[in-house]
Amino acid sequence: MKNRIKQLLTTIVCILLVIHVQAQQQIREGKLTIDGNTYEITRSSSGPYYLVWNMDRSELRPNREMVNGIPLELANTKMTNKNELMEVVCEALGAEKRAQLSTQKEKISGWIYYRGDGSVINIVFKVIDHTKLTLNDLFKIEETFKTRFKANLESVGNLHQHLYHISFNYEWNFDQ
């Protein structure tokens, strides 16, 4: 009887594991949806990489050229808290995933689009072909940034506040 119960429990655990793994969407070329967010995943022409980008780009319309007669290109926007980005990524991924990335010497690069107030619109991710990351991981990173992070932005005459979007490149390395 005891053996029967043990066998049953093992089977249940295995089924749950399979369900969990299946829920984790592997990164592959195409358009994948997770929690209502559709991501466009394309192959990079530079080598074995994928480029992953949320398809909700409604806020990425062309920036205005001028406000009150001042060209917004003169904003010269700077971000002063870039060093906080890595903390947010680490928090989103958790220790286990970070360890996997570190072992594989895998890094993530790309750029983040911010609103004038410093909040995050969306993120472009570039990951390697056989990445340890799933789309769920990238979604979690993006959601964590959207809900928990604000860039400190400075510009000439605070012109950046009139921009619809501002982008800064990043590269996250998990070796350390």
Footprint on this chain of other proteins (rule: CB under 8 A): 42, 44-46, 51, 53, 57, 60-62, 65-66, 69-71, 73-74, 76, 79, 82, 110-111, 124, 126, 156-157, 167-171
Comparison of 97 and 168: residue with beta carbon closer to other proteins: 168
Nearest-approach distance from CB 94 to other proteins, in angstroms: 26
Residue type, 110: G
From the CB of 107, what's the least distance to other proteins, in Å? 13
CB 114 within 8 A of CB 121: yes
Judged by CB, which is closer to other proteins: 24, or 38? Answer: 38
Helix, strand, coil share of the chain (percent; to 5): 40, 30, 30
> In sequence order, what are the residues at sequence separation of 6 or more whose Cβ sits closer than 8 angstroms to the Cβ of residue 121?
59, 60, 113, 114, 115, 165
- Min CB(83)–other proteins separation in Å: 12
- Give the relative orientation of helices 135-148 and 85-103 as an angle to the nearest 10 degrees: 160
- The residue among 44 and 103 lying less far from other proteins, judged by its C-beta, is 44
Smallest separation, CB 136 to other proteins (Å)? 20
Residue closer to other proteins, measured from CB, 11 or 158: 158
**What is the nearest approach in angstroms of other proteins to the Cβ of residue 132?**
21
Work out the angle at residue 52's Cα, subtended by the Cα atoms of residues 49 and 55, and round it to the nearest 5 degrees: 155
**31 touches 38 (CB < 8 A):** yes
- Please give the Cα distance from 61 to 58 (Å, whole number): 7
Closest to other proteins by CB, 32 or 97:
32
Looking only at the bridges linking them, the beta strands covering 49-54 and 153-154 are unpaired
